[in-house]
């Protein structure tokens, strides 16, 4: 008895899925998302846009009046209130953005997840095959290069013998033979020195082509002391996180300052508005 598997092309074919194999519509899948039809509520958007324009205009006036430098208590007081107002308004707009975005964000995550579930197994399967091909093609490349090098050596020896013979006899035929032998030897040497991609190239029956290529650069440490300092990158996040943890552990700022060898930890004061 035949099965659906019997009707499918053999592995290695590169034909796409038929329409019958695909979901009828993505709407069938997305129906549970219930994406809100009218995400943008025009009156609120207009209100926020107008308010933002008013506040930016006020900020421009603040820059004109102060030159972005505060020199007296009254200006500092007014500026504090203004900065607090700007932050409150921005917070309200950010809250509205979150509300407006939520349905779409949920829907896009559903779509991403759906297709990720489709593509990840295929990508992982292809990667597993590529890993197996890497092992095989490396052997193919090594074997072909070994054969090519042996052939190049043989032809080089023949070319040398032909050259020696031509030098002794000095006939036109012998010289022509030596020239041709040398051409063959040069060509064989080029084949033996060919890139790994050329010597490993394998073609499938359905148009696929595999070959070795150079992967990303990697490294291993052979002498840590010889590594230039510019390549020893400081993990700033780890250093700052350690200082925070030291503070939580009860160390004073003075103690934390030199707690990490080679670093001086410090904190600058900055203005904060509530």
Label residues 191-200 b or e (16+ Cβ within 10 Å = b): bbeeebeebb
| DSSP-assigned beta bridge partners for residue 1 | none
- The residue written with tokens 């052997």 in the block is 139
pLDDT at 273 over 50: yes
Question: Which two three-digit tokens encode residue 49?
Answer: 């846009």
Overall average pLDDT of the 261-265 stretch? 92
Q: Are 145 and 192 in contact (CB under 8 A)?
A: yes
Angle of helix 42-66 relative to helix 73-169, nearest 10 degrees? 100
Residues 186-224 have pLDDT tens digits of 999 999 999 998 998 998 888 888 998 888 888 888 888
pLDDT grade for 15, boundaries at 50, 70 and 90: low
pLDDT at 5 over 70: no
DSSP 3-state of 93: helix
Q: Are 259 and 243 in contact (CB under 8 A)?
A: yes
pLDDT at 4 over 60: no
Q: Which residues contact 48 (CB under 8 A, 6 or more apart)?
A: 92, 93, 96
Question: Where do the structural domains in the chain lie, given as residue ranges?
Answer: 35-133, 135-210, 219-274
Calculate the CA 274 to chain-centre distance: 40
> Residues 202-205: contacts with CB within 8 Å, 24+ apart?
202/133, 202/137, 202/140, 204/12, 205/12
pLDDT grade for 6, boundaries at 50, 70 and 90: very low
Residues 223-244 have pLDDT tens digits of 888 888 888 888 999 999 999 9
Q: Are 215 and 130 in contact (CB under 8 A)?
A: no
Residues 42-95 have pLDDT tens digits of 467 678 888 899 999 999 999 999 999 999 899 999 999 999 999 999 999 898
Q: Find the largest Cα–Cα distance for the chain.
A: 110
Residues 102-151 have pLDDT tens digits of 777 887 888 899 889 999 999 999 889 999 999 999 999 999 999 999 99
Lowest mean pLDDT among 22-36, 77-91, 167-181: 22-36
Residue whose C-alpha is closest to residue 96's, from 177, 35, 42: 42
Overall average pLDDT of the 262-272 stretch? 87
Question: Which two three-digit tokens encode residue 220?
Answer: 């291993």
CA 8 – CA 114 distance, rounded (Å)? 24
Q: Left (φ > 0), alpha (ψ -120 to 50) or beta: where does 200 sit?
A: alpha
* pLDDT computed for residue 27 by the predictor: 52
* pLDDT computed for residue 1 by the predictor: 43
Report the sign of the C-alpha dihedral through residues 177, 180, 186, 188, in that order: negative
Q: For residues 10 and 219, which has the higher predicted lDDT (pLDDT)? A: 219
Burial of 46 (0-12, 13-18, 19+ CB in 10 A): exposed
């Amino acid at each position: 008895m035949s099965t659906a598997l019997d009707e499918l092309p053999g592995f290695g074919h590169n034909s796409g899925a038929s329409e019958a194999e695909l979901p009828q519509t993505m709407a069938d899948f997305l129906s549970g998302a219930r994406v809100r039809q009218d995400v943008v509520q025009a009156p609120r958007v207009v209100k926020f846009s107008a308010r933002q324009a008013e506040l930016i205009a006020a900020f421009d006036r603040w820059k004109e009046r102060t030159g972005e430098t505060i020199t007296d208590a009254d200006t500092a007081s007014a500026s504090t209130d203004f900065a607090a107002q700007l932050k409150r308004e921005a917070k309200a707009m950010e809250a509205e953005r979150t509300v407006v975005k939520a349905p779409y964000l949920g829907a896009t995550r559903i779509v991403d997840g759906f297709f990720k579930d489709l593509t990840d197994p295929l990508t992982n399967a292809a990667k597993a095959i590529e890993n197996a091909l890497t092992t095989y093609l490396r052997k193919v490349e090594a074997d072909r290069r070994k054969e090519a090098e042996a052939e190049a050596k043989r032809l080089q020896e023949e070319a040398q013998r032909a050259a020696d013979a031509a030098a002794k006899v000095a006939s036109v035929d012998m010289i022509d033979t030596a020239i041709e032998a040398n051409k063959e030897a040069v060509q064989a040497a080029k084949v033996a020195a060919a890139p790994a991609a050329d010597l490993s190239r394998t073609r499938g029956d359905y148009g696929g082509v595999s070959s070795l290529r150079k992967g990303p650069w990697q490294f291993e440490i052979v002498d840590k002391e010889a590594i230039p300092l510019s390549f020893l990158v400081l993990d700033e996040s780890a250093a700052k996180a350690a200082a925070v943890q030291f503070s939580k552990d009860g160390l004073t700022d003075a103690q934390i300052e030199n707690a990490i060898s080679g670093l001086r930890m410090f904190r600058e004061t900055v203005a904060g508005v509530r």
